[in-house]
């Protein structure tokens, strides 16, 4: 909070003071980037000051955030982030990669990446004294807002399409949010949420609308930076001095485009501070049936044309992405690209990750499916270090998961039946 200066519009570059605007640019509707006082941060902190903290959660990076770390007893809001990175050795061998890792965001309190955004927005809501926070959601953003709100007795209202997976709706209800299902798409819910926020004075968390969501999502970049410093040092020890490898390549599933632009922002913050010298390469992965951002990237433009989204991966099913321009730039400015994957490829990815002990929801597994395709197309080479992001838990959508595997046999409860089966 003390280092929060204001906003800068990603389209027209207009700068706004912290109390001047709340959501998007009043001139052109562009997404606002939060501006921090980098000089003050640089003067006051060294990386070691943050990295030596005992707190493994995203709040360890509080000096780089536009909100204060919440005080009080430990709650789910206090423990967001700090997610593990696993090395996928067998899968690396299968695809001829020397180094393949997965960062597992399903281990956040409400089991998705969205907790990063919702925790920061709830902290902001407390600071500005908002009575009610509202969001539109395909499920995870709502579950995260409901969970983070419940943790600190904040009131929340969630609008979701009535087609949201039952497990996600259950989460919303159990966390005690006011849940309103909309007979329409996520995009319908999105527009309705903004109208309600304006009408009733609620604080709106909508992804790609509220500038604080990307500030939460950028903390994944901070964690990757911190992890890579160690992984990279260990890796270098095994090799010749002066060995210059390609940058870390990160695969990110993309719907509204807010995760990939948030991660990009996190790395840009670190570069501004002089704490990171080399930008990782960001590769966005979209479902073939929901590829508005990918379409723009591949056409070499920033104008996002809406699509009629259709994919099994509900969390990345978006007609009109709300953070499309910054998402296109995240790939363009880092030497990355966009890759589309089919629902079939996504389901294969769910099954493949399952065999490493990671249960991903379809949207989360999409990043892995994109990696498989990138190897086939030689977008990543054997020596490129690769990190895949799993953004959500498979328990959130078991109907999709059951499509990724064969049903088990049912037998008589006799030894003979088992022997027959095993034969
Ligand atoms: C929201 C979400 C995404 C996509 O994030 P965007 O910011 O919409 O691009 C990917 N995976 C999961 C599990 C999500 O919940
Ligand atoms: Zn603007």
pLDDT tens-digit profile of 242-274? 445 789 999 999 999 999 999 999 999 999 999
pLDDT band at 332 (very low <50, low <70, confident <90, very high): very high
- Say yes or no: CB of residue 330 within 6 Å of ligand 1: no
State what percent of residues in the chain have pLDDT above 90: 92
- Say yes or no: CB of residue 140 within 6 Å of ligand 1: yes
Query: Could you report the per-residue pLDDT of 102-150, keeping only the tens digit for each?
Result: 999 999 999 999 999 999 999 999 999 999 999 999 889 999 999 999 9
Number of C-beta neighbours around residue 56 at 10 A: 12
Q: In what order do the strands lie in the sheet with 100-104?
A: 85-87, 100-104, 386-390, 249-253, 281-287, 338-341
Please tell me the distance between residue 7's alpha carbon and the centre of ligand 2 in angstroms. Answer: 10
Please tell me the distance between residue 134's alpha carbon and the centre of ligand 1 in angstroms. Answer: 18
Distance, in Å, from the CA atom of 65 to the CA atom of 72, rounded to the nearest integer, reads: 18
Identify whether residues 337 and 263 lie together within a single domain: yes
Average pLDDT of the residues in 174-184: 96
**58 is a domain residue:** no
Per-residue pLDDT at 78? 97
DSSP state of 45: -
pLDDT band at 378 (very low <50, low <70, confident <90, very high): very high
Q: What is the CATH number of the domain that holds 379?
A: 3.40.50.1100
Whole-model pTM: value is 0.96
Residue pointed to by tokens 């509204």: 256
Please tell me the distance between residue 178's alpha carbon and the centre of ligand 1 in angstroms. Answer: 22
- Say yes or no: CB of residue 116 within 6 Å of ligand 1: no
**3 is a domain residue:** yes
Atom of ligand 1 nearest to the CA of 258: 7
**Residue 414: both structure tokens together:** 């006799």
Q: How many domains does the chain fold into? A: 2
CB burial of residue 415 (10 Å; 0-12, 13-18, 19+): exposed
Residue nearest to atom 1 of ligand 1 (CA): 315
Please tell me the distance between residue 410's alpha carbon and the centre of ligand 2 in angstroms. Answer: 61
Please tell me the distance between residue 138's alpha carbon and the centre of ligand 1 in angstroms. Answer: 9
Per-residue pLDDT at 236? 66
For residue 384, pLDDT over 80 is answered with yes
Identify whether residues 318 and 272 lie together within a single domain: yes
- Say yes or no: CB of residue 259 within 6 Å of ligand 1: yes
Q: Which ligand is nearest to the Cα of residue 12, counting in written order?
A: 2
**422 is a domain residue:** no
Instruction: Residue 35: give the domain boundaries.
Output: 1-40
Q: Which ligand is nearest to the Cα of residue 218, counting in written order?
A: 1
Question: What integer best gives the mean pLDDT of the chain?
Answer: 95
Query: Could you report the per-residue pLDDT of 72-108, keeping only the tens digit for each?
Result: 899 999 999 999 999 999 999 999 999 999 999 999 9
**149 is a domain residue:** no
Distance, in Å, from the CA atom of 335 to the CA atom of 329, rounded to the nearest integer, reads: 10
**416 is a domain residue:** no
Residue among 285, 361, 391 whose CB has most ligand 1 atoms within 8 A, to mutate: 391
Q: Which residue has the higher pLDDT, 168 or 260?
A: 260
**380 is a domain residue:** yes
**221 is a domain residue:** yes
Residue among 108, 212, 315, 328 whose CB has most ligand 1 atoms within 8 A, to mutate: 315
Per-residue pLDDT at 239? 59
Per-residue pLDDT at 246? 87
Residue among 103, 353, 392 whose CB has most ligand 1 atoms within 8 A, to mutate: 392
Reported residue count of the chain is: 423
Identify whether residues 21 and 87 lie together within a single domain: no
Distance, in Å, from the CA atom of 238 to the CA atom of 37, rounded to the nearest integer, reads: 39
Average pLDDT of the residues in 392-404: 93
Sign of CA pseudo-dihedral 281, 282, 287, 291: negative
**24 is a domain residue:** yes
Per-residue pLDDT at 237? 66
Residue pointed to by tokens 């990750």: 353
Average pLDDT of the residues in 60-64: 97
Q: Which ligand is nearest to the Cα of residue 136, counting in written order?
A: 1
For residue 22, pLDDT over 60 is answered with yes
Identify whether residues 260 and 321 lie together within a single domain: yes
Identify whether residues 284 and 332 lie together within a single domain: yes
């Amino acid at each position: 909070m003390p280092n929060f200066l204001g906003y800068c519009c990603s389209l027209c570059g207009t700068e706004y003071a912290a109390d001047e605007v709340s959501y998007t640019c009043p001139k052109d509707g562009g997404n606002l980037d939060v501006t921090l006082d980098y000089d003050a941060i640089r003067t006051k902190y060294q990386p070691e000051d943050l990295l030596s903290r005992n707190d493994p959660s995203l709040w360890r990076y509080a000096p780089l955030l536009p909100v204060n770390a919440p005080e009080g007893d430990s709650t789910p809001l206090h423990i967001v982030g700090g997610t593990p990175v696993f090395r996928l050795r067998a899968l690396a061998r299968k695809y001829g990669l020397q180094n393949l890792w997965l960062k597992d965001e399903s281990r956040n309190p409400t089991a998705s990446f969205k907790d990063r955004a919702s925790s920061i927005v709830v902290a902001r809501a407390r600071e500005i004294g908002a009575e009610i926070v509202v969001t539109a959601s395909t499920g995870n953003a709502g579950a995260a807002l409901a969970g983070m709100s419940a943790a600190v007795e904040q009131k929340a209202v969630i609008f979701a399409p009535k087609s949201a997976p039952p497990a996600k709706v259950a989460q919303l209800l159990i966390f005690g949010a006011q849940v309103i299902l909309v007979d329409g798409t996520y995009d319908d819910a999105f527009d309705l949420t903004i109208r309600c926020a304006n009408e009733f004075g609620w604080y709106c968390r909508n992804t790609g609308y509220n500038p604080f969501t990307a500030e939460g999502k950028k903390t994944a970049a901070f964690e990757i930076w911190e992890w890579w410093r160690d992984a990279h040092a260990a890796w270098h020890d095994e090799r010749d001095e002066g060995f210059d490898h390609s940058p870390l390549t990160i695969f990110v599933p993309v719907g509204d485009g807010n995760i990939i632009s948030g991660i990009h922002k996190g790395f840009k913050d670190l570069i501004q501070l002089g704490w990171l010298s080399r930008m990782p390469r960001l590769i966005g992965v979209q479902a073939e049936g929901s590829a508005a951002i990918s379409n723009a990237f591949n056409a070499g433009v920033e104008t996002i044309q809406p699509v009629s989204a259709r994919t099994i991966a509900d969390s990345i099913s978006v007609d009109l992405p709300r953070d499309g321009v910054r998402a296109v730039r995240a790939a363009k400015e880092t030497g990355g690209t966009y890759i589309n994957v089919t629902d079939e490829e996504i389901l294969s990815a769910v099954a493949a990750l399952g065999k490493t002990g990671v249960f991903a929801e379809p949207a989360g597994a999409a990043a892995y499916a994109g990696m498989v395709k990138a190897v086939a197309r030689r977008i990543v080479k054997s020596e490129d270090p690769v990190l895949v992001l799993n953004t959500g838990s498979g328990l959130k959508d078991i109907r999709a998961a059951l499509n990724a595997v064969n049903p088990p046999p049912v037998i008589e409860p006799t030894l003979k039946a088992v022997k027959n089966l095993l034969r």
